[in-house]
């Protein structure tokens, strides 16, 4: 029983208890720093979220720098199969804190097993690892902020949803435009009926690469020492491929083994914005119309309520002027937003008169901050579902995968979002999952 009670002690209880003597037998002077106590405006150590990271590269470094200034975060460790990347992250963290405390790990299972003190993880690997690393982390009792696209298949998305539910974990996918003012304004214009009856939403897909990805692989090069690059760890659940340094420098994009195509690249963002706006974040389109081009540009998908979501590369800037754009069209007007806008584009300038009020009303109504990272951290503390929770991720990524499958099979598809299967199409249904290489399986 004594052992059982000890196991029930939380990390924070342990921290508080460790500062006291046992049974009053010893009275050892203890120096407690102002940082630990939380004076001078700092959050006490017992109230901080202990954060770690898996696979933090270029995009992940952006996320990390976004999280580090938060006063209730303490980043303590990074795991990466590439030593150079792990050391770069350690330098960022140690510079921020003015110490040398950030620990480096290279083996994900060992990292998760050893660091029982970590509350939450930033997962910013390449696409192939997002779902698996998130699932492993949640099974180890960690909350997760995962970069997008957060699942390589429909089956992976289902597994993330089930794992978060079973282990009662907080999860946020990195579709940060769900927490930005311009996109929120457009969503609220739609939700509140200011655009009239919505018939069409348009979602930006990346204007590079193709929907049809490469199935070959790069020529093999001499494998570096394992302490420099653990190639087996880097590949993870993907089929074994010979080592080539181009992969580790981002050259995996455009390869079927590692990527979700030009549709997944930006569609992970824009499908989420569109589906949340029209109230379809817990479902997916039921029809996908094949288009005879390399990218899926112009594909019309349709939801059960009749609203169309059209995939647009928009090379001529007809619908927006920046990246990851969305546009919502109704019987009373339209609104559009993309990266780099000072204010959304609207069909009538008068629509912008209440811009601030509409965004502030959303914040007051939902309690959501205009910061995706802050929403995640707040939910880690409150245990409330995030704005981009596992269901939102899975259902919007389902639309991505179904659109890809439509392009790969070169035919129209119909999908049942309740049963989560394609209708009368065994070949398409087989593509809902991929084989995973042992031992990197869900």
Question: Tens digits of per-residue pLDDT, 255-310?
Answer: 999 999 999 999 999 999 999 999 999 999 999 999 999 999 999 999 999 999 99
Distance (Å, whole) CA 274 – CA 75:
33
Spatial CB neighbours of 326, under 8 Å, sequence gap ≥ 6? 183, 186, 201, 202, 203, 204, 270, 273, 274, 277, 320, 336, 337, 338
Distance (Å, whole) CA 206 – CA 265:
6
Order of strands across the sheet that contains 198-204? 345-346, 333-337, 326-330, 198-204, 308-312, 300-302, 287-288, 413-416, 421-422
247 secondary structure, DSSP code: I
Q: Quote the pLDDT of residue 185.
A: 98
Q: How far is CA 341 from CA 72, 97, 184, 276, in A?
A: 30, 34, 13, 20
The single residue listed with the structure tokens 């949803």 is 161
Cβ(162)–Cβ(391) under 8 Å? no
Spatial CB neighbours of 243, under 8 Å, sequence gap ≥ 6? 220, 221, 222, 223, 224, 229, 231
Q: Say if strands 287-288 and 300-302 run parallel, antiparallel, or are unpaired.
A: antiparallel
Q: Quote the pLDDT of residue 18.
A: 37
pTM of the model: 0.90
Q: Which fold has domain 177-211+259-370+391-430?
A: Dihydrodipicolinate Reductase; domain 2 (3.30.360)
Distance (Å, whole) CA 326 – CA 190:
12
Q: Quote the pLDDT of residue 41.
A: 58
Tell me, rounded to whole angstroms, the distance of Cα 205 from its chain centroid: 17
Q: Quote the pLDDT of residue 38.
A: 54
Q: Quote the pLDDT of residue 42.
A: 66
Q: Quote the pLDDT of residue 46.
A: 72
Cβ(170)–Cβ(276) under 8 Å? no
Six-digit token pair at 373? Answer: 């990272």
Six-digit token pair at 98? Answer: 């003015």
Distance (Å, whole) CA 125 – CA 118:
18
303 secondary structure, DSSP code: -
In terms of Cα–Cα distance, which of 83, 84, 89 is closest to 53? 89
Distance (Å, whole) CA 314 – CA 323:
10
For the chain, domain boundaries: 177-211+259-370+391-430
Task: Give backbone dihedrals phi and psi of 199, rounded to 5 degrees, phi first.
Answer: -115, -25
Q: Quote the pLDDT of residue 159.
A: 98
Q: Quote the pLDDT of residue 43.
A: 76
Largest CA distance in the chain: 80
**Per-residue pLDDT of the chain in tens (442 residues, 90 and over written 9):** 344 434 344 444 433 343 333 333 333 333 334 444 454 556 776 789 999 999 999 899 999 999 999 999 999 999 999 999 999 999 999 999 999 999 999 999 999 999 999 999 999 999 999 999 999 999 999 999 999 999 999 999 999 999 999 999 999 999 999 999 999 999 999 999 999 999 999 999 999 999 999 999 999 999 999 999 999 999 999 999 999 999 999 999 999 999 999 999 999 999 999 999 999 999 999 999 999 999 999 999 999 999 999 999 999 999 999 999 999 999 999 999 999 999 999 999 999 999 999 999 999 999 999 999 999 999 999 999 999 999 999 999 999 999 999 999 999 999 999 999 999 999 999 999 999 999 999 8
Cβ(265)–Cβ(209) under 8 Å? yes
């Amino acid at each position: 029983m004594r052992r059982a009670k000890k196991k029930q002690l939380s990390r924070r209880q342990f921290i508080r208890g460790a500062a006291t003597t046992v049974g009053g037998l010893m009275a050892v002077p203890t120096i407690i720093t102002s940082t630990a106590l939380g004076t001078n405006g700092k959050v006490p150590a017992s109230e901080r979220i202990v954060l770690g990271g898996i696979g933090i590269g270029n995009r992940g470094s952006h996320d990390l720098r976004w999280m580090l200034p938060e006063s209730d975060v303490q980043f303590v460790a990074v795991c990466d199969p590439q030593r150079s990347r792990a050391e770069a992250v350690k330098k960022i963290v140690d510079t921020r804190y003015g110490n040398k405390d950030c620990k480096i790990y290279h083996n994900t299972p060992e990292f998760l097993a050893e660091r029982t003190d970590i509350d939450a993880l930033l997962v910013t690997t390449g696409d192939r690892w997002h779902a698996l690393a998130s699932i492993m982390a949640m099974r180890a009792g960690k909350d997760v902020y995962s970069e997008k696209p957060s699942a390589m298949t429909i089956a992976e998305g289902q597994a993330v949803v089930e794992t978060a539910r079973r282990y009662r974990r907080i999860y946020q996918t990195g579709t940060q435009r769900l927490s930005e003012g311009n996109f929120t304004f457009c969503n609220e214009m739609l939700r509140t009926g200011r655009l009239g009856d919505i018939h069409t939403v348009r979602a930006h897909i990346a204007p590079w690469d193709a929907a049809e990805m490469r199935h070959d692989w790069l020529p093999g090069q001499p494998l570096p020492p394992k302490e420099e690059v653990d190639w087996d760890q880097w590949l993870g659940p993907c089929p074994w491929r010979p080592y080539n340094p181009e992969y580790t420098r981002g050259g995996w994009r455009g390869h079927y083994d590692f990527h979700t195509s030009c549709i997944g690249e930006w569609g992970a963002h824009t499908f989420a914005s569109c589906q949340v706006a029209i109230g379809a974040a817990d479902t997916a389109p039921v029809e996908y119309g094949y288009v005879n081009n390399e990218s899926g540009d112009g594909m019309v998908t349709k939801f059960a309520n009749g609203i169309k979501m059209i995939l647009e590369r928009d090379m001529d800037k007809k619908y927006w002027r920046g990246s990851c754009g969305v546009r919502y069209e109704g019987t009373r007007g339209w609104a559009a937003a993309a990266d780099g806008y000072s204010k959304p584009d609207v069909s009538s300038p008068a629509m912008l008169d209440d811009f601030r009020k509409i965004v502030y009303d959303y914040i007051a109504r939902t309690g959501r901050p205009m910061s995706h990272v802050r929403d995640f951290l707040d939910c880690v503390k409150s245990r409330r579902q995030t704005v981009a929770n596992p269901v939102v991720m899975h259902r919007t990524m389902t639309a991505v995968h179904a659109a890809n499958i439509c392009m790969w099979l070169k035919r129209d598809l119909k999908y049942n979002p309740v049963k989560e299967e394609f209708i009368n199409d065994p070949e398409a249904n087989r593509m809902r999952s991929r084989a995973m290489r042992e031992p990197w399986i869900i």
